[in-house]
Amino acid sequence: MQPRIQEQCVAGGIKGTILLAREGINGTVAGQPAAIDKLVAFLRALPGCAELDVKYSHAKEMPFYRMKVRLKKEIVTLGVDGIDPKREVGTYVQPEDWNALIADPDTVLIDTRNDYEVAIGTFEGAVDPRTKSFSEFPEWFRAHREELAAGKTKFAMFCTGGIRCEKSTAFLKAEGIDEVYHLEGGILRYLENIPEAQSKWQGECFVFDERVSVTHGLELGEMELCHACRRPISQNDKASAQFIEGVSCPACFAERSEEDRARFAERQRQIALAKKRGKPHIGVNPRADD
Kindly state the average pLDDT of the residues 275-283.
69
Query: Which of 209, 167, 165, 169 shows the shortest CA–CA distance to 187?
Result: 165
Kindly state the average pLDDT of the residues 254-282.
85
Domain formed by 2-71, architecture: 2-Layer Sandwich (3.30)
Query: Which of 237, 80, 96, 258 shows the shortest CA–CA distance to 172?
Result: 80
CA–CA separation, 185 and 158 (whole Å): 9
- State pLDDT tens for residues 59-93: 888 989 899 999 998 888 999 998 988 889 999 99
Sign of the CA dihedral 96, 126, 154, 129? positive
Strands (E) in the chain, as ranges, are 15-21, 24-30, 67-71, 91-93, 107-111, 121-123, 154-158, 179-183, 201-203, 205-206, 213-214, 224-225, 232-233
Query: Which of 15, 12, 16 shows the shortest CA–CA distance to 27?
Result: 16
CA–CA separation, 234 and 85 (whole Å): 35
Query: Which of 9, 7, 27, 29 shows the shortest CA–CA distance to 19?
Result: 27
Residue 286 confidence (pLDDT) above 50: no
Residues marked as catalytic:
159
- State pLDDT tens for residues 92-132: 999 999 999 999 999 999 999 999 999 999 999 999 999 99
**Phi, psi at 15, each rounded to 5°:** -130, 155
Domain map (residue ranges) of the chain: 2-71, 91-205, 223-276
Q: In this structure, are residues 268 and 225 in contact, taking their beta carbons and an 8 Å threshold?
A: no
CA–CA separation, 243 and 205 (whole Å): 22
Q: What is the model's pLDDT at position 290?
A: 45
Q: What is the model's pLDDT at position 82?
A: 87
Residue 203 confidence (pLDDT) above 60: yes
Instruction: State the pLDDT confidence band at 280, using cuts at 50, 70 and 90.
Output: low
At 155, which amino acid appears? Answer: F
CATH of 91-205, one of 3.30.2130.10, 3.20.20.70, 3.40.250.10, 3.40.640.10: 3.40.250.10
Q: What is the model's pLDDT at position 277?
A: 82
* Residue 179 DSSP SS3: strand
- Rounded to 5°, the CA angle 13-15-20 comes to 120
